Amino acid sequence: MKLSIRSIGFLLSIAVSALLLLNVVEAQKPIAANTRPFEPVEELFYEAEFNRALLRGLNVADFKLRSARNPVTAEAEKQAGKPYSLIFNADVTSKGFFTRLFNLKFREQIESTVEGHSFTLQKTTMLDEQGKRVRTTETTYDRSTGKMSWNQRDPNNPTAEPRHAVVEFTGQLQDVLSAIYYIRTQQLHVGKTFDVFIGESGHVYRVPIRVVEKKSMKTVLGKVKVVLVEPQLFGPGNLLENEAGQFSIWITDDDRRIPVSAKIKTDYGTFDVKLKRVVNNPPA
């Protein structure tokens, strides 16, 4: 089944926000909060290319990921017993070939808030713009009651009834953005398989993941060792149940755990997402 234009934009958004769906949950000791590679502030910049037949290396989107300690709660942490929170942001914008070919601009902005010490997801907000279609979404997660509350609105039609869902869950959920940062606190071993639970669009999805191999790769960081991870996103019962394809992601096999590359293979073509720049502790 070929991808719709809207699905292509959604896939490109998914590709980097974890690159976006790799919350690997297993019984391993996470990296301590004070040694996480993305704290206190980190910015990652990516570029997506489209390839099909004679069309090679066509730039279609830019991505920016940012992680930072919430300055308000970081100050509160200095007081005994008060944890801080982390704010993750993703900004995905179409450009060039994609905009000209389909006469469609898309932009997706995501913000995730997690409690810093336990890495427990607290809130997700999203702005999704695809041409004239605009949607705003807010999702809250209450682990004490095991309930996820999802609300979506159309800013262009403020009188319309918002879409709403309350879903029960157990354990620790991540969203498509916080997941990539969670995985960077974990250890990965070739041959392992995992189940990931993602809260998305008022549903909870189980995403099977395989850690496939380790190899060397030339990147903007130089030649580095990377781990290849393949989440099962496509097909019946999965996040993209009406689509066919394959999603792969390469993450540095070191303390930084930086996602350096991702690939989405579909019937329509192949999208390659590559890291272009890393900025640690950028000036305000």
Domains: count for the chain: 1
Residue 18, both tokens: 């974890």
Residue 14 phi, psi dihedral angles, 5° rounding: -60, -40
Tell whether 30 is covered by a domain. Answer: yes
Q: Is residue 167 part of a domain?
A: yes
Q: How many Cβ atoms are within 10 Å of 259's Cβ, its own excluded?
A: 25
Q: Is the dihedral of CA 236, 238, 241, 243 positive or negative?
A: negative
- Which structural domain, as residue segments, surrounds residue 226? 5-278
Instruction: Classify residue 227: in a domain, yes or no.
Output: yes
pLDDT of res. 28? 36
pLDDT in tens, the chain (284 residues): 333 444 444 454 444 433 333 333 333 334 444 568 888 899 999 998 888 766 676 777 888 999 998 866 556 555 555 678 899 999 988 887 666 666 667 888 999 999 888 888 999 999 998 888 899 999 999 988 999 999 999 999 988 889 999 999 888 888 888 888 877 877 788 888 777 788 888 888 888 888 899 999 999 999 999 999 888 878 777 777 777 788 888 999 988 889 999 988 887 788 888 999 999 877 66
Query: Is residue 283 included in any domain, yes or no?
Result: no
Would residue 284 count as lying in a domain? Answer: no
Residue at 13 is within a domain: yes
pLDDT at 79: 57
Q: Which residue type, as a one-letter code, is found at position 198?
A: I
